Amino acid sequence: MEEISRRNFLSTVINSLIGLWVIGAGILSSYAGLKYLWPTEKTAGSGGEKKPSFPLAELEEGSMKKVVIGGKPAGIIRLNGQVYALSLICTHLGCVVSWHPDEKRLICPCHGGMYDVTGTVLGGPPPRPLPSYEVKLSGDTVVIG
């Protein structure tokens, strides 16, 4: 009788530990998966200089350079001889948009919001344009902000 009780007790403890481990692993993997699929302003990076500057030669026509302004991701795009600087934080729910040079537009991976190179909304749910930053050319150096 005593051995059966001991066996039941050990079985209950082991099953409980396995159950807790499975629940914990499920919660952690769900959180990591959501963070990967839905990169938000907080997960996109932090720190960085307030007024990034770099040689214009580093930015090829049609390409985008990512910088951090005030701890938030921004994109510097050179297109048709102009340089544009935009926040990369989608105005819908805060995902990080990416530059699609073949389409010449920024597209949000979360709900398909689309913006042109000036930040104007072209389609999808974003309610406002992407905020832009001032761009100055000092000789061959691009200065943002």
Binding site for ligand FES (CB under 6 A): 90, 92-93, 95, 108, 110-111, 113, 124-126
Supply the minimum distance, in Å, between the C-beta of residue 100 and ligand FES: 14
Supply the minimum distance, in Å, between the C-beta of residue 126 and ligand FES: 5
Supply the minimum distance, in Å, between the C-beta of residue 39 and ligand FES: 10
- Provide the CA 115 distance to its chain's centre, in angstroms: 16
- Cα distance from N-terminal residue to C-terminal residue, the chain: 79
Identify which of residues 41 and 67 has a Cβ nearer to ligand FES in the complex: 41
Polymer length of the chain: 145
Identify which of residues 117 and 142 has a Cβ nearer to ligand FES in the complex: 117
Identify which of residues 48 and 124 has a Cβ nearer to ligand FES in the complex: 124
Phi-psi group of 43: left, alpha or beta (phi > 0 → left; psi -120 to 50 → alpha; rest → beta): alpha
Identify which of residues 124 and 129 has a Cβ nearer to ligand FES in the complex: 124
Task: For residues 33 and 28, give the distance between their C-alpha atoms in angstroms, rounded to a whole number.
Answer: 9
The DSSP code sequence of 81-136 is TEEEEEE-B-TTT-BBPEEETTTTEEE-TTT--EE-TT--EEESS--SPPPB--EE
